[in-house]
Amino acid sequence: MNKEKILEQCNAHSKNTLMETLDITYVDVGDDFLVAKMPVTPKVHQPDGVLHGGAMVALAESVGSAACFVFLDTKNFMIRGLEISANHVRSLSSGDVFAKAQFIHKGRTTQVWDIKLKDAEGRLISAVKLTTIALPKAK
């Protein structure tokens, strides 16, 4: 696995997308995980100055979707999200938030991802579950 090439490709696919708007970058990849980072600035705050839950879910879905392209057969299948649920457990008003996506279930048709959002000190900010489906591409 060429980590640098994978991260370069993930970041290149973010151009002119929501990921670029939110300054999401892919920063680490391993045999069974992908990590993305998003700066916590007023751009992603709620009116009261803390990280918006919708921005956290956007980060989680972004890293989960990118992980699909890293770890699944996207040459023959389209991957689509089916469901996402998030439990926000801590607020954050500055710094960076990191999202790490790992499989809970890697089926041929459906996949379930565990995505943990943590601050720079490793404290849990949000626990997210993403379910995806692999649909055959038309030949």
Indicate which residues carry an active-site annotation.
Answer: 61
| CA 89 to the chain's CA centroid | 18
Maximal CA-CA distance, the chain: 50
Q: How is residue 137 annotated by DSSP?
A: P
Q: How is residue 108 annotated by DSSP?
A: S
DSSP strands (E only) in the chain: 25-29, 33-40, 77-88, 95-106, 110-119, 124-136
Q: Rounded to the nearest 10 degrees, how much is the dihedral formed by the CA atoms of 108, 32, 123, 57? A: -40
Q: What are phi and psi of 56, to 5 degrees?
A: -65, -40
Say if residues 25 and 63 touch (Cβ distance below 8 Å). Answer: no
